[in-house]
Amino acid sequence: MPPPAVPHGMCLKVIDNRNMRGGMGSETNPLKFMNQDYNILQEYYLKKGRRFADDFFPPDPRSIGEGLLKPEDMARVEWMRPTKLCPDAAEFIVESVSRFDYSQGIVGNCWFLASVGALTFQSKFLQKVMPDGQSFSHNYTGLFHFRFWRFGNWYDVVIDDYLPTIDRQLIFVQSKTYNEFWPALMEKAYAKVCGSYADMHAGRVSEALMDFTGGVHIHYNLKTAPTDLWEIMYRAFQSEVLMGCETPRGNESEEELPNGIILGHAYTVTNVYQVMSGRYPVKLVRLFNPWGKKEWNGDWSDTSPLWNTVSNEDRKQHLLDDNGEFWMSMEDFLRTFDNIDICCSYPDFLEGKSVSRWTSKYHNGSWVIGSTAGGCTNHRDTFCTNPQFWLKVNEMDKACEQGQSNVLVSLIQKPDKRNRRLAAHHGIGFIVFAVPPEMTSEGKLGTSFFFSRYPVAISDKFEAARQVMSFFRLEPGQYVIVPSTFSPNQPGEFILSILCKNEIHIQ
C-alpha cells in the first residue's frame, strides 16, 4: 500500500540540513558519479581536439540492457551522435525547455518522463538537473552532464552523446523537434545511473520526482485524501513543486479505457484552476500524458461542450490542442486516478499563512545480519536489536499549534546493486514508541520495553518499496523510532528523515 495521506491544515518552512551544508554530495558541490569529472574531461578533450566516448556507459547492447529489443532489432541498432543525425543543425535546446518537446519511446519509463514534464515548469530545479552552458557548437566535445539526487547525495553524471537509433530514428525518448536533443540526453544520463535503459522499465513517479529535487516528498492516496485536496494542489501549483500522479493497474500492461485514460500509467499534473461554468464554479485539474498523445475524452476534455459554458477569456486561455494534455474535473480526477505525489523544497502550500519553521534532520543507518537486522515486532527476540533513534520533541510555539500533525518521518532503503531492476527491495517500515521521562538514552532499549507498551505511531505497512513515510502528531516529550525490515537478517542501508514542526534533538 502507498504511504498514508498527509493531513491538511499544515504550512511549514523547512530548515534542510542537507542543502545548508554545501559539502560533498550537496546540490552546490555534487559527487562525481563513477568518479568522472566533467570539467577535467571537457578540458582534456578540448585540448586534444577529440570527441568523448564513455567507457562506463558504452554505445553497445550492455547499455540498452536485456528484454527491451528483440535480437534482430538489437542487431540493427546504430549509435549515432546528434551531430551526425543532424549535421550543422543539432541543438541541445531549441528556444526553450517544454513538456511538449518529447514523447515516450519503447522503454516503459512513463514514471520518469512524467516527472521530466513536471521539471520543465520549475526553472529552479531544472537548472540543478540540467546545468547551463551545454551545446553542440560552443566548446563541443561530445560530452554532456546532468545532476540527480540519489539516496542522500547529489551526483554529477557524465555521458557521451552517442544515442541508439534504428534507421536513423531514436528508439527511446523522441523529440518532436527533429534537431532538439536535451530529452534524449537526459534520459541517457538517468539510464546510466539506473544501469541501463532496460533498468528504467517500470517504476513509480515519486522516484524520479525525488531524484530531481532531493527535497520533501508528500504522497496522497486519492481514495483517502483530505476533502480540501484540490485547494492543497492549487496552492502547490502556485509554489515551487513538482507533481505527478498514477492510474490504477489494469489487467493488461498499459490498458486503454474507453475514456482515453491509460491504466498503470504515470501523468504530470500541469495546472490546477477554477472556472465559472455559467453561475457555478468548477474545480479543474490539467494533466499531461508523456506519450504526447492519448487523452481523456470525458467532461472538460478538448472537445467537451462544457467549454461553451465558460467565458470567452477562459475558453481562449485554457482550451487545449490534441497534444497529450487535457483538463478534467476534480471529481473525475479522484475517480480516475489512484494517487498523487508532490515533491518540493519547502511545502508552504499545505496551509495558508503560518509563522512556523520546521526542522529537517536525516540519518544514515544499516541493518546488519546477526547484529542490527532484527525484523519487525513479529520477532520478539530480535526486534530490539534494530537501530534505535531517540527523538526529543520540545514545546511548540502557540502560533504554530494550528494543524494536527507535527512530525513527518520518511524511511528510504538504499539499493544493494547498481542495476536498478536487480536491487532487492525488502519490506520496510518503522514504529515510534513514547519513552517515559525518567528513562535515559544510554544503551539500547530491550525486549521488555517494546512489548510492554503500544506504539504511538507507525508507518502504514511494511512495503517492499524504495520509501515509506507517515505524517502524525507527537506531543512534547521523548520517543524512540525503530526502523526495520519485515523479516530478520535482511541486510541493507537506509536513510531516516525526520521533519518536525517543533525543535527536536535526535540521538
pLDDT digits (tens, 9 = 90+) for 133-169: 999 999 999 999 999 999 989 999 999 999 999 999 9
How far separated are the first and last CA of the chain, in Å rounded? 30
Q: Which of 184, 212, 240 lies at the terminal end of a domain, its last residue?
A: 212
Average pLDDT along the chain: 88
Query: Domain span at residue 49?
Result: 28-212
User: Total structural domains in the chain?
Assistant: 2
Q: Which among 245, 265, 376, 386 is annotated as catalytic? A: 265
CATH number at residue 393: 2.60.120.380
Share of the chain above pLDDT 90, in %: 66
Q: Where are the alpha helices (DSSP H) in 162-296?
A: 182-194, 205-213, 229-238
Distances (CA, A) of 235 to 227, 401, 411, 469: 15, 21, 26, 22
pTM: 0.89
Active site residue 110: yes
SS3 sequence of 263-323? CCCEEEEEEEEEEEECCEEEEEEEEECCCCCCCCCCCCCCCCHHHHHCCHHHHHHHCCCCC
Per-residue pLDDT at 380: 92
- Name the active-site residue from 109, 289, 406, 502: 289
Residue 99 to residue 325: CA distance in whole angstroms: 10
| Spatial contact of 107 and 136, defined as CB atoms under 8 Å apart | no
Within a domain: 481: yes
Single out the residue in 173, 195, 212 at which a domain terminates.
212
Classify the phi-psi angles of 283: left when phi > 0, otherwise alpha if psi is within -120 to 50, otherwise beta: beta
Strands 280-288 and 389-393: unpaired
Cα(212)–Cα(341) distance, rounded to whole angstroms? 13
Write the DSSP symbol of residue 183: H
Quick one: pLDDT at residue 10?
Answer: 30
Assess if residue 329 is contained within a domain: no
Task: Give the Cα separation of 152 and 205 in Å (integer).
Answer: 18
Average pLDDT over residues 298-322: 91
Per-residue model confidence (pLDDT) at position 469 = 84
What's the pLDDT score for residue 239? 87
Is residue 170 within 8 A of residue 46, CB to CB? The reply is no
Catalytic residue among 8, 11, 109, 110: 110
Closest CA to 453 of 439, 441, 463: 439
Model confidence band, residue 118 (pLDDT cutoffs 50, 70, 90): very high
Annotated catalytic, 289? Answer: yes
The identity of residue 128, as a single letter, is K
φ/ψ of residue 400, rounded to 5 = -100, 5
Longest dimension (CA), the chain: 75
Exposure string over 484-495, b if 16+ CB within 10 A, otherwise e:
bbbebebbbbbb
In a domain, 240, yes or no: no
User: Is 224 within the bounds of a domain?
Assistant: no
Hey, which residues does 294 pair with through a beta bridge?
none
Cα distance between residue 114 and residue 165, in whole Å: 23
| Each residue's pLDDT tens digit, 10-35 | 323 333 444 445 677 888 899 999 99
> How many residues comprise the chain?
507
Report the helix count and the strand count for the chain, using DSSP H and E: 13, 25
SS (H, E, C) 82-146: HHHHCCCCCECCCCCCCHHHEECCCCCCHHHHHHHHHHCCCHHHHHHHCCCCCCCCCCCCCEEEE
CB 261 within 8 A of CB 296: yes
Per-residue confidence at 393, pLDDT binned at 50, 70, 90?
Answer: confident
Would you say residue 83 lies in a domain?
A: yes
Q: Are 118 and 243 in contact (CB under 8 A)?
A: yes
Is residue 275 assigned to a domain? no
Say if residue 198's pLDDT is above 60.
yes
CB burial of 264-273 (b: ≥16 within 10 Å; e: otherwise) equals bbbbbbbbbe
Q: 280-288 and 266-277 as β-strands: parallel, antiparallel, unpaired?
A: antiparallel
Is pLDDT above 80 for 235? yes
Domain final position from 161, 181, 212: 212
Q: Does residue 93 surpass a pLDDT of 70?
A: yes
What is the DSSP-derived secondary structure letter of residue 17?
H
Could you tell me the three cell numbers for 398?
A: 502557540
Residue 197, domain member (yes or no)? yes
Which one, of 290, 241, 298, 302, lies nearest residue 265 by Cα?
A: 290
Is residue 499, in this structure, part of any structural domain at all?
A: yes
The cell numbers describing 237, all together, are 501549483
Tens digit of each residue's pLDDT (9 = 90 or more) over 334-359: 999 999 999 988 666 776 555 566 67
Pick from 44-58, 138-152, 254-268, 352-366: least confident: 352-366
pLDDT average, residue stretch 117-123: 94
CB 408 within 8 A of CB 498: yes
Judged by average pLDDT, the poorest of 10-24, 295-309, 404-418, 431-445 is 10-24
Residue range 370-381: mean pLDDT, rounded: 93
